[in-house]
């Protein structure tokens, strides 16, 4: 998560310099918007991961997970902005959304009846959850706006 976040932030800094100098091509505005969105999501996930309680107290765990769960549900529905979609891209989006939804459901299941046998267990499981969910989320987002931090050229939008 941190490596992807760092790459996104570096690209955002470069694009902000272009925006400030008035040299960012107009066809890159949607990519900039997506970049800002992805950074926000990754930072939120990082915060959830870092604030996962190290405890066996079920109330603390449930409180944290309820917020995390609501956030994950929102990720499945929000920000459906992207490049114009032909039938092939629409199908890619449907498939990516379904895959992401299945992964989220599968990752949520262990938490529905979670009991921490050690204080560190919940925090560890939250880390595993993000390791499973975030690659699928990035694939899902790529179905809306294909994104490559190394080469954000017009070809990436095709």
Domain ranges across the chain: 2-157
The pLDDT of residue 49 is 97
The pLDDT of residue 2 is 62
DSSP, residue by residue, the chain: -HHHHHHHHHHHHHHHHHHHHT-S-GGGHHHHHHHHHHHHHHHHHHHHHHT---S--HHHHHHHHHHHHHHHHHHHHS----S---HHHHHHHHHHHHHHHHHHHHHHHHHHT---SSTTHHHHHHHHHHHHHHHHHHHHHHTTS---SS---GGGG-
The pLDDT of residue 80 is 81
pLDDT in tens, 8-18: 999 999 999 99
pLDDT in tens, 46-94: 999 999 999 999 999 999 999 999 999 999 888 887 778 889 989 999 9
pTM of the entire predicted model: 0.86
């Amino acid at each position: 998560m941190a490596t992807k976040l760092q790459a996104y932030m570096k690209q955002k800094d470069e694009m902000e310099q272009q925006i400030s100098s008035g040299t960012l091509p107009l066809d890159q505005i949607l990519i900039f918007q997506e970049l800002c969105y992805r950074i926000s999501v990754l930072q939120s996930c990082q915060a959830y991961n870092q604030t996962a309680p190290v405890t066996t107290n079920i109330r603390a765990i449930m409180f944290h997970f309820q917020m995390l769960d609501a956030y994950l549900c929102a990720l499945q529905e929000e920000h459906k902005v992207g490049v114009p979609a032909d039938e092939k891209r629409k199908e890619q989006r449907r498939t990516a959304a379904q895959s992401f939804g299945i992964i989220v459901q599968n990752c949520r299941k262990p938490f529905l009846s979670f009991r921490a046998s050690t204080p560190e267990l919940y925090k560890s499981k939250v880390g595993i959850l993000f390791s499973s969910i975030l690659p699928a989320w990035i694939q899902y987002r790529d179905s809306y706006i294909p994104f490559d931090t190394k080469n954000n050229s017009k070809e990436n939008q095709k």
